[in-house]
Amino acid sequence: MTSTPTQAVADRLRANHGTALTLGAGCKLPDDLMIEIDPGAHLTIGDRVSIRRGSTIQVHRGATVAIGNDVAIGEHTFISAMAGIRLGDGCALSNMVDLHDHNHRPRTPANVPTSKLVLWASGFEAAPIIVEPGAILSNKVTVTAGVRIGANTRVGANAVVSHSIAPDTVAAGVPASVRRHFDGVPTTAHEDRRTLTIGFFGTSIMEHLEAFNAQMTTQADLPEVGSKVTVEGWHRRGWVHRLTLSLRAARAHVAFEMRNHGEGGATSRDVAGIVEADRATTGVDYDLVFLGCGINDVWRRFQNRLSEAIDLGEYTRHMNTMLEQLTGYTRQVIVIGETPFGPVEDPETVAAMNTELARYNEAARTAAAAHGALFLDVWAPFTAAARHLPADDATGGVWSDDVHLTELGDTILLQQTEHLLTEHRIIEALLDYPLLERDQALAVYGPLFARHRPAPV
C-alpha cells in the first residue's frame, strides 16, 4: 500500500520522537512541520488535527504541549513551551499565530550574578497557556505566558493577548480587550476550571454566623408564624457571603474556593495565631486574602478586660508579622480597616473608643503599605451612612448591636470591597497564571498537564 504524504510525515515523526510524541489518527500534517521535543518533554496531538505548512512546535525540557481533537493550526504558526500549552478540542489558530509560555527573566544582579552578556544568562520564567475548546485565534495573534482563553472565544487579527479572556467573548486590540460577549454553544469537552483560592482572616465582622433550619429557607414548606423550629447549625453570612455570591455570579466559568477564618471576639493576637495555624496545618497558597482586625483589641480595654486588650504597639507587631507571612504565599493581600463603634456606650465613651480605633486603622494602613498590600478604608462611607439614616429607619441602621453589622452595614462593606476589586482589576489579574522561575513552573503547573502525558513506566 502506498503511503500518503501525511502518513509518511506521521511515520517519520513517530520514528524521530518515540514515546515523547503521542500522535492521534486522521491528522493532516505538512512535510515541513518542525517539531522539537527535549528530554523529559511530551507532545500530544489528538485525532483529526490539521496543521498547515511552515509551522513549528517546540517542547522544551520537562514541558508539555497538548493539542486536542479536531484542532486546526494555520500556516507559519509558532508554539513554544517551557511549562505547558494546551489547545482544547475544536479550537483554531489561524496563520502566523505565536504562543510562547515563557520570557527571559530581567537582567538583575540576582538573576545574572556573573554579569555575563549572554542572552539567556538571566534564565527564564514561565506560566501555562490554555486555549479552551472552540476558541478561534485570528491571523497574527500573539498569546503571552500565563494566559487562559475561554471556550468559544474569538480573538481578532493582530491582537496581543496578555491577560486571560472569559468564554464566549470577542476580543481584539493591543493589548486585547473585550469588545462584546455572546451566547456560546456548549462545548462537549470541558477543561479543568480555573480556581481562585480566597482567604478571610478577621473577627466576627467576617465570620458573621447565622442560625439556620432547612425549613426556614424552603419556600414550599415555611413554618407557621409563631411556631418553633430547631436550630440545625450555623451558616457564615454577612458581606463575605455576599461577595462570594457576587464573584460566582459574575464569573460562572471560574471556581472560587472561599476559606473564611473569621472568628468572633478575636483580637489581633488571636488572628495572628489563626494565620500561623492555618499555614502550618493546610499549607494553602492563596490567590487573594482579606485581613482585618483591631476592633476587639480596643473594645476589651473599654470593657475593662485588660488581660485581653491589645495596645497599639502589640497590634502593630501582629499586623506586620501576619502581613510578612501572608505576602509570602498570597498573590494579593487586602487589609480592611475596621468599622467604627455605634452608640454601644455613652456618647463620650464611644467617641474615645472611635478615636482609639482610628489610630489602629492608621497603623494597619501603614503596615499594609510597608508589605505591598492594599488598604481598604471603609470608615468614611460607613459613618456617612450612619449619619444620614434617621434614628427610626426601617432598615435598622448599619449596626445590629452597635458593633456588629446589619444587612445594610454588610452591603456597605460589600460595595466598598467590590469597588476596590474593580478599580485595581484584581480578579482579572489573578485569573492569569503567575510567572515562575522555569523549574518552579514545571513543578507547580505540572498537574495541569498530567493527564496529557503517558503514565510513568
Task: Report CA torsion sign: 244, 246, 252, 254.
Answer: negative
User: Could you tell me the three cell numbers for 425?
Assistant: 482589576
CB of 435 closer than 8 Å to CB of 125: yes
Residue 154, CA distances (Å) to 92, 195, 196, 385 in order? 9, 23, 24, 44
- For residues 138 and 155, give the distance between their C-alpha atoms in angstroms, rounded to a whole number: 6
Which grid coordinates belong to 121? 544568562
Name residue 201's beta-bridge partners. 291
* pLDDT per position as a tens digit, 75-97: 999 999 999 999 999 999 999 99
- Tens-digit pLDDT profile for residues 127-155: 999 999 999 999 999 999 999 999 999 99
Contact of 322 with 275, CB cutoff 8 Å:
yes
How far, in Å, CA of 124 to CA of 80, rounded? 13
Predicted confidence at residue 391, as pLDDT, reads 61
Q: Cα dist. 422→64, 342, 399, 429 in Å?
A: 34, 29, 26, 11
φ and ψ at residue 155, rounded to 5 degrees: -110, 125
DSSP string, 414-431: HHHHHHHHHHTTHHHHHT
Is the CB of residue 142 less than 8 Å from the CB of residue 159? Answer: yes
Residues of the chain with pLDDT under 70: 1-5, 188-191, 209, 211-213, 232-236, 390-396, 457
In angstroms, the CA 216 to CA 222 distance is 6
Contact 171, 153 (CB under 8 A): yes
Partnered with residue 131 across adjacent β-strands are: 87, 149
Q: What is the number of helices (H) and of strands (E) in the chain?
A: 12, 29
Query: Residue 179's CB: how many other CB atoms inside 10 A?
Result: 12
Domains in the chain: ranges and CATH: 5-191 (2.160.10.10), 194-435 (3.40.50.1110)
- Res 154: pLDDT: 98
